[in-house]
Structures are given as C-alpha cells and as structure tokens.
Amino acid sequence: MRHLFSTLFFSIILLATVNANTKLQADTLAEVIDDYDSKINYDINGQAFHFKPDIRPLQQIPGGRQAFYTYLWDFGDGNFSTEEKPVHTYEKPGDYEVKLYATNNYDNGPPPKRPKRKTTVSSQLASNTKSTSNFQKLFFASNGVLQLYKNSDALPGQDMALIVGVKPRSEKGKVIILTNEKDINPHGFEFAHQSTYNNETIDSTSFQEKHKLKSMWAQVKEVTKTQSGSPDYGNKEIYHFSEKEALSYFSNLHNSYTTISTYDISSPNFSEQFSIINLNVTPEMLADTNTIVTVTGIYLSEDGLATVHKLDIPVVTSHDPNKMSTKPARLNYRMQFKKRNLTYKVQFQNDGEGDAKNIRLEINLPKEVDPKTFQLLNLYPACDSCATASSKGCYTINYTGENTIEFLFKDIALPGTAAPDVADVDSTKGFIRFNVQTYKKLKNKSLTAYTNIFFDKNDPIRTNNSVARFRKGLSPLILAGINQTLQNNNAASKNTGVAFSLGLAPIAPYKKLYWQIELGGFSHTNTKKNFTQKRGEINIPDLEGKEQYKVYDGIDSISKMQNIRLHIPLQIRYNFNSLVSLGGGATIGTDINLSNKRETNYHIIERSGEQGIYTIKDDNDKSSLSPIRYAPFIDLNIGRAYLGPALGFRYHFDNSIKHNGQVYFIWRL
C-alpha cells in the first residue's frame, strides 16, 4: 500500500516537471539578429536634404499580407518625419546626427538596425526657416497643447521611440512622463535616453520624491485630459479644481505608476517643441502580450493650467497593424463578487493602394463575457450609427452568435498605405474600443478573444488571440478537522484527535497541477484495554499498612498517552472542476509526548467468594519527541475547489499507525 502511494506521488511530480521543461524549451528560442549593414543616404538639392533609407530587404511571410516598413526620422535638430524618403532643411548651421527608426510589419525577419549618420550643415546650406513635416503639422490632434506619439507598439526585447510634443502656454513649464502602470507591469519599460534639442533640462526627481511636485500640483486650477492610441480617440475632458481636488487628482495619477521622468522646458517665443524619449521594452512584458499599457504625459504651465494626455500602447509579439488588445489583461481572481469590466481595442490598417469601403469586424468574445453588455467607446473612422437618418458613412452592430458580435463600417473611405498621396500613416488605420462585462463567477483560466477582419470582399484577416489572465498569487489555507485511526495491528488501539493546520498554495489554477504545503498538528490519545484470564497472587497492603497476599483471577490494564502531532504535508493537486479537487503527496511529522499514564487493575478473589479490584497507577510524564515519520497520502476536496470553503477527506499510511483517515473543513482565502 505504501509503495502504491509513493508511486502515485512521484508520478505526479514527474508529470509537472515534464510540463515545466516543455514550456521552458518553447520560451527560450534564440533571437535572430539583423546582420545587414543599414545606412542613411542623402542628396543635397539647394538647401534641401533628400534622405533615403538603406535597410535590409523585407522577408515576406509565406502566404501572408504584403510586408512593409513604417518610418520615424529624427533629423537631429528637434524635427521629425514619418515619410519613407523625407526632404528636410536645417534652420541653423551645425553638426547634426540623423537617426532612423524603422518598424517591420508583416515581416518574417529580425528587427532592422537603427542607422545613424553625422551631417554637417554649413552656413550656405542653412535655410534660416523652420522645416516642418506633415507629421509635425498634424501632430497636435488631441488638444493642441500636449501630444505623445509612439513609433511602434511595444514588442518585448526591442526598443521603441516616444515623441513628446508641447505647444507652450507660458515661457516656462514642466513636462512629466509616467510609465509602467502598477496594475500591469511595474518594470515593463526602461528609460534609455532623451533628446534635448530645445535645451530641455532633465530633472533628477525620482518617483519617491513626490513632495517636490506637490507645490506645482496645488497651483493647478484646470486640467484638460485627452487620450489617443494611433489614431486619436477624439475624447476631451476638462476639470476645474480647488487646491485640495488638484492634489488628490495628481496624487492618484502619480500613485498608479512606478516610473517617472521629468524635464523643464523654456520657450520665450512660445514655439512648439519636440523631444524624443527612447524606451527599452523589457522581456518581462512577455507576460503582458496582447494587453494595452498606457503612458501618461503631463504638462504644467505657469498659468495654473495643466494638460494630461494618455497614450495607449499595445504589447505585441510581432509588428502587425491588425490586432486585438484588452485591458486589464491581468485580473484579480479574489474579487469574484461582482462583474468585471474589460476594455477591448480592435485595430486595423488598410495596406492596399485604394480606399477600403466596407470593413467588417467579426469579434469573437470569451464565453465568460456577456456580449449584450457591449458599449462602444471610440471608433475611427469617426461616423454615426446607421440607425440614424444617415445610411452612408455609418456603422452597424449585430449579435450573430452566442459570443460573437459583428461590427460593420459601411460606405467609408479608409485610404491605403500604398496610395501615393498618403502623408499621414495614421489616416490608414482604424479601430474600435468597447467595454464588455464578464459574468460574476469565473473559472481560474484565461479569457481568450480574437477578431476576423474583412476588408471589402477580401479574405478575412484573423488577429492575434487577445488574452486576459488572472494574476498569479498565493492563497492562504485554514484547515480544521478530526483524525481517526482506521486500522492498526492492535484492534484495541485508537488514534483520535482534533486537527488544525495552516497552509499555502497558488490560487488554484483551472485544470493544471499545482502544489500545496501545510504546517499543522493535532492532539490525540492512544488507549489500550486488555483483560487477561490469569490466576496469581499479589501483595496488597491493608489499612494498617501491613502487607497481605491476595489471589486474583484476571488483569485489566488501561494505557493513555497524550501527544501533539506536528506534521508538514506536501502535495500536488489537480482541480477537475469547480467542485472536485484531488491531491497526492507525503507528510513528515513527529509526536511531542505530553504524558504517558498506565493503570493496572487486578481482579481479586476474597475468601468470602466476592470479587474486588485493586488498581496500581503508574504516571510517567514525558516531554520528548518521537522518531521522524514519513507517510504518503491521498486527499479529496468537495466544495469550492478554487477559493472558499470545502469538505476534505484524507487517507494516509505509515508503519507505526498504519491506516488513518481525516475529515476536515478547509477554506481557501
């Protein structure tokens, strides 16, 4: 019997180890590095620099959509462009370092290198006029004051560029950039570098030094808040604050992040300024792929007005402009008493030459989500519902299945990236953002959604799987019950007592093996009763202290041993469903012997023929430990297998006590 339970225990551990090794092998693939000698070429025509990229050729995915690059040019003077072959003039003579950030979309190759080139502009080449690209002309779409722009989505293990643009309201001001939301990934972004083309003063204020910012927050009388996600969401909110309300608003905003970077700007002529911040996307972000992280920018001017702009950045595994993301992507499994709100974003891009007229999104939601709670937040191209008087340039929403929603952009004109007259790449992109609610009771498993995107009459494009997961965490356990010997070598021996344990386990996953460890004990008493038919004599003192021999015909003995058993059970468990859970493992333990009492009763035969009992007591108090014992066991829980109360049944076996059973009550917190 012991061999059977040991085999079961080690088989479960072996299975868990194999699964872990398989996952490890799948997650440790070597990254391919671009070995192409990337360069930046340019020609000069008059005072205009004509730039041209020389980067590795795209590697088309077999059967995939047409691969293409998107570009971000940093001309080294605080001006930028997103064109493939931009033309730029420099206002002042000097030495400039031009950088190119290229992002490969639908591409099967590694990320391209970031080429740089030193450029010397003589006084003859300086134009004395500011060169402004279409990208900069259209930059301040959200509020006209502060805007954030990303050159790509966040791909773990790569870097990305964040452009911060400000149109100053006053001569001096402060810009605050908040990254790494606490409730998603507190270490997802690493600050690498920031440009200072406009004599920005980088502030060394750390995240913990909030008191340095409080004086500025208290002076804010009005806040304008906007949000974008390539393209702009089109929403704008204005708040008027008292000093107390301003402190509360900015403190709450600040406390929801773990990383801050601040810098001071100065603009005597109130001209717009652009700064580029380089961020490394850490491999830790792999745990958050297909979610949306938000970077927040704050501009504080001297006039008591503040502007807050939030930029949504999808975390992806590849640069694909057609994707589905969710927020939050990590849920707290403990909060099961109410419905959860999930915000999904489905984004798409027309990569053809002509306009896309009808775009149909076939959204497949998890079965844990109620599609009837669908609430549209934002969309682009911006249009009204077809339920209004307008029948063109509108949208419709249909519930086509138990967990499927069809969203149709009807009679629109979304330009393609291959069109020769497209200056703004964002104009080729579209999206919808919407809220849905889950049902109350959820299993501890991932919630997976995806979307099929139909551009006119073309075959559908399936997005990535957008996955919301429950946070990994530990669940404290409380166990209380009764232990009982089921069978022993001596049928008169009993091992009973009240058991109590405290334990720890992962918040029980859905249909996956997990460990559980406990530390506990129970008090018990061993009792033996024997009656032996035996004749003999015993010397018994009388009332005067004189000894006399008495004849007895039987002996009856009672032995009581009071112990506290300390034990550490370790097991591997599996939840078959929300009500049944099975585990197997082994326990190690010892007994603390509190007392050992023995009573021997002699059944005396008097001369008159009557019988009496003479008792001899032997008290031997102990405070010693028994030898360490090991015992395999199996364990069954019926009730709330994930969190909450359940009834437990445990059977364990060891050499000294043999077969034991335990019935207990367990609560997983």
DSSP of 138-180: T---SSSSEEEEESS-B-TTSEEEEEEEE--SSSEEEEEEEEE
Considering 415, 441, 463, which residue would you say is the last residue of a domain?
Answer: 463
Considering 463, 497, 527, which residue would you say is the last residue of a domain?
Answer: 463
Asked if residues 359 and 414 have their Cβ atoms less than 8 Å apart, the reply is: yes
Considering 261, 293, 318, which residue would you say is the last residue of a domain?
Answer: 318
State whether 455 and 441 are in the same domain.
yes
Q: Residue 350: inside a domain, yes or no?
A: yes
Structure confidence at residue 527 (pLDDT): 62
State whether 282 and 425 are in the same domain.
no
Torsion angles phi and psi, residue 168, rounded to 5: -60, 145
State whether 243 and 290 are in the same domain.
yes
Structure confidence at residue 102 (pLDDT): 94
Q: Residue 282: inside a domain, yes or no?
A: yes
* C-alpha–C-alpha distance, residues 103 and 106, integer Å: 10
Domain containing 57: what range?
37-137
Task: Name residues of the chain where pLDDT drops below 70.
Answer: 1-32, 63-64, 205-210, 335-337, 389-391, 423, 487-495, 524-533, 609, 619-623, 656-657
Q: What is the DSSP string of 23-34?
A: HHHHH-PPPP--
State whether 52 and 118 are in the same domain.
yes
Structure confidence at residue 289 (pLDDT): 79
State whether 60 and 158 are in the same domain.
no
Q: Does the CA dihedral 303-304-307-308 come out positive or negative?
A: positive
State whether 153 and 103 are in the same domain.
no
Q: Work out the percent of the chain whose per-residue pLDDT is above 90.
A: 47
| pTM of the complete model | 0.73
Q: Residue 449: inside a domain, yes or no?
A: yes
pLDDT digits (tens, 9 = 90+) for 61-119: 776 678 889 999 999 999 999 999 999 999 999 999 999 999 998 888 888 989 999 99
Q: Residue 32: inside a domain, yes or no?
A: no
Q: Residue 487: inside a domain, yes or no?
A: yes
* C-alpha–C-alpha distance, residues 62 and 59, integer Å: 9
State whether 542 and 448 are in the same domain.
no
State whether 330 and 351 are in the same domain.
yes
Structure confidence at residue 25 (pLDDT): 38
- For the chain, the domain total comes to 4
Structure confidence at residue 517 (pLDDT): 93
Structure confidence at residue 2 (pLDDT): 45
State whether 155 and 112 are in the same domain.
no
State whether 300 and 366 are in the same domain.
no
Collapsing DSSP to helix, strand or coil, 289 comes out as coil
Q: Residue 278: inside a domain, yes or no?
A: yes
Q: Residue 468: inside a domain, yes or no?
A: no
Cα–Cα nearest to 507, from 335, 650, 341: 335
* C-alpha–C-alpha distance, residues 335 and 341, integer Å: 12
State whether 205 and 310 are in the same domain.
yes
State whether 298 and 387 are in the same domain.
no
Structure confidence at residue 598 (pLDDT): 77
Peptide bond connecting 460 to the previous residue in cis, omega within 30 degrees of 0: no
Helix H, strand E, coil C: the string for 618-650 is: EECCCCCECCCEEEEEEEEEEECCCCEEEEEEE
Q: Residue 31: inside a domain, yes or no?
A: no
* C-alpha–C-alpha distance, residues 552 and 603, integer Å: 5
Terminal alpha carbon distance of the chain = 34
Output the domain CATH number for residue 560: 2.40.160.20
Output the domain CATH number for residue 48: 2.60.40.10
Q: Does the CA dihedral 364-368-372-377 come out positive or negative?
A: negative
Question: CA 490 → CA 282, 576, 586, 636, 654, distances in Å?
Answer: 64, 38, 24, 28, 15
Asked if residues 407 and 397 have their Cβ atoms less than 8 Å apart, the reply is: yes
Output the domain CATH number for residue 220: 2.60.40.680
Q: What is the DSSP string of 592-605?
A: EEEEEEEEEEEEEE
Question: CA 217 → CA 172, 177, 186, 257, 434, distances in Å?
Answer: 15, 15, 24, 17, 32
